[in-house]
Structure 1
Amino acid sequence: MRNWRLFFTALSCAALSAIDPAIAASPIGNTVQTSTTVSASGRVLEKSSPVFFNDILRSNATGIGQFIFNDGGRLAIGPSATVTIDKSIYKGGKSVQQASIQASKGAFRFISGAFSVKKINTPYGTIGIRGTAFDFTIRNGRVYILLFRGAVSFCRGGNCKTLRSSCDYLVAGGGKISDPQALSAGIDQGLNIGEVFPLVVNQSKLNSQFRQGTRNCFSRAAQRTPNKSISPAVNAAAAAAAPDTPDTPDTPGPPGSPGGPPGNSGKSNKGFGNGGEADDSGPNESHNPGKGHGGPHSDGGKSKGKDK
């Protein structure tokens, strides 16, 4: 009789696991904060809600979710985002293995933990991470990456480019990867950061654990507020940008410790900007300075995008 009870108990656990693997798993992290609707594999998340391996995190059109993993790594997702927490991140909820995140669409901020994720897969290439904090956005067939500290690379096939200077960004799409460029130069050329880096423009909506020093990321024109040649969202973000602080180690401290600040800007790539908004099969625009949504056109570079 005892053996039969053990058999049925094991069978029940297996059935529950098959229906919802999260039931039988230990959480790999927790929700720090959400606004409007953010879900994990169909579960509506609130503050302190657990996150499990293989969860699919989604936010609605106005949702923002902020998560901290067991090793101190942090992930924020912006509106209309979809990302899968890959099952290889943790084994048994304790020992860290080769880790990855599958990001499908939307805007994100990632801050490394003690062991943390080593790569983030996107539909257009792979982001390699080396003790860092950065934003990335997947939209309209392109990937935009903005570095705050550490180093991050983007690879597609055998082609790789690396960001090493704070406040530098790159754009990948159409089978090409732009050279790193200072975000301030992109703003001066008409880059619509309200669209491509919305978490920078809306840092006030983030918990303090997720905010980054961004003052050096904005152009001098944006910092001279009010400035009619710069979008209102950029003006507001530049005015509210966290002041710069001394550099911190690439690997962040325990949860709650502040992120590191930006440093010197990198070299210009002649205004690649955010490129065209075509699909990934579109033509290479790396030789068309400033071409793209929000970039300088026939009006002498005075055009500007509207932030969403």
Structure 2
Amino acid sequence: MLRLLTSIALLLLAAQPVLAASGTALGVDPAARLEDKQGSKTLVVGTDVFIGDRVVTDAKGLVQIRFSDKTKLVVGPRSSLVIEDYLLREDGSGGKFAINALSGTFRFVTGGAPKDRYLITTPTGTVGVRGTAFDLNVHSDHYSLLLFHGAVVMCNKANKCITVDDFCDVGMADLTDARLLGNTEDFVGAERTSMRGMFPWAVSESDLMSPFWVAQARECLNRAVVPNDTDAGGGNTDNQPPPRTQRPGFQIGPNG
């Protein structure tokens, strides 16, 4: 009888669904934590990330996650996000690659899933991904995006949308509008300084593992810019910008 009960117990255990990890943290700089159903724990290299998990970093935190479909995600300092859905759920059904970027700075590089399976939510709108690499800066009242490759559709909660599809283009969406701010070569002076604060990995990728680098990304904010000004004489660069009218809705600040 004991042997029979033991066999039944083993069969029941074997029949339980195995929770498949959505992704794995390949690089972690302290301090970063993962919040799941069991509570909060410090993230370390090799930690698996599952649907429903929340990743949170402090002022020095940095997390680099690779998912099973080869999608790559970087969570920068003072940032938080939730893995809301994944392409393969624990019951074996198909889902979307869906994350909720709550606040902070992120890098997103799509993997091998169909383009319509990716969705990023922010407090003020959504990003529809079309096979893409981009950096994202999220605040409670707006989000900004710097595109490297592919295309995205940026929408706000009022369903006003724009398509961003050119190398080094910057888009912004808030509660009232979604708009293309321009190409990084259009920004000089204080605007360009603000851009470099908003998208630090387009300035330097030294903090990232090489698999999380994006080809040509550093060209966006490191190229010398000569303002289109007849009085500039073709000799001005970022260090000597002419007076420039601030774009409507563009907020100058170290963090965008």
TM-score, structure 1 as length reference: 0.65
The aligned runs of 1:31-46 (5 Å cut-off) are 31-41=25-35, 42-46=40-44
Spell out structure 1 runs of 4+ moving beyond 3 A: 1-11, 93-96, 226-230
User: After the TM superposition, which residues 144-159 of structure 1 pair with which residues of structure 2 at under 5 Å, given as runs?
Assistant: 144-156=144-156, 157-159=158-160
In structure 1, C-alpha distance between the alignment counterparts of 2:211 and 2:28, rounded to whole Å: 14
Bigger fraction of residues in strand = 2
| Aligned-residue offset at 1:61 | 1.1
- CA 1:96–1:201 in structure 2 vs 1: closer, same or farther (change >3 Å)? farther
Q: Which residue of 2 aligns with 1:205?
A: 207
DSSP 3-state at the match of 1:205: coil
Q: How much identity, in percent, do the aligned residues show?
A: 25
> Are residues 32 and 71 of structure 1, via their aligned partners in 2, closer, same or farther at CA, if it must alter by over 3 Å?
same
1:100 maps to 2:101: no
CA drift at 1:89? 3.6
Aligned AA for 2:205?
Answer: Q
Structure 2 length-normalised TM? 0.77
Task: Identify the residue that residue 220 of structure 1 maps to in structure 2.
Answer: 224
- AA partner of residue 220 (structure 1): A
Partner of 1:168: 169
Hey, what's the Cα distance between the residues in 2 that align with 1:86 and 1:37? 23
Tell me which moved more, 2-11 or 174-183.
2-11
Following superposition, the deviation at residue 7 of structure 1 comes to 7.5
CA shift at 1:227, angstroms?
6.0
Corresponding residue SS for 2:191 = coil
In 2, the alpha carbon distance for the partners of 1:94 and 1:52 equals 14
Higher relative contact order (CA 8 A, sep 6+): 1
Match of 1:52 among 45, 50, 53: 50
Give the SS at the match of 2:106.
strand
**Structure 1 residues 62 and 26 mapped into 2: Cα distance closer, same or farther (>3 Å)?**
same
Q: 1:209-234 CA deviation, whole Å, 9 max, x = no partner?
A: 11122243134249x9x96458xxxx
Counterpart of 2:137 in structure 1 is 137
Runs of 5+ consecutive residues of structure 2 not aligned to the other structure: 227-234
For the Cα contact (< 8 Å) 1:188–1:221, is it kept in 2? no
**Would the aligned equivalents of 1:75 and 1:108 in 2 still touch at CA under 8 Å?**
yes
Q: How many residues align?
A: 232
The aligned residue for residue 65 of structure 1 is: 63
Give CA-to-partner distance per residue, 1:86-145, whole Å, 9 cap, x none. 134422387642231111000000000001751101110010001100011112521010
Where does the alignment leave 5 or more consecutive residues of structure 1 unmatched?
Answer: 18-23, 231-269, 273-284, 295-305
Match of 1:86 in 2: 84
CA spacing shift, 1:91–1:180, aligned 2, 3 Å: same
Tell which deviates more after alignment, 54-63 or 168-177.
Answer: 168-177
Find the residue that maps to 2:70 and give its secondary structure: coil
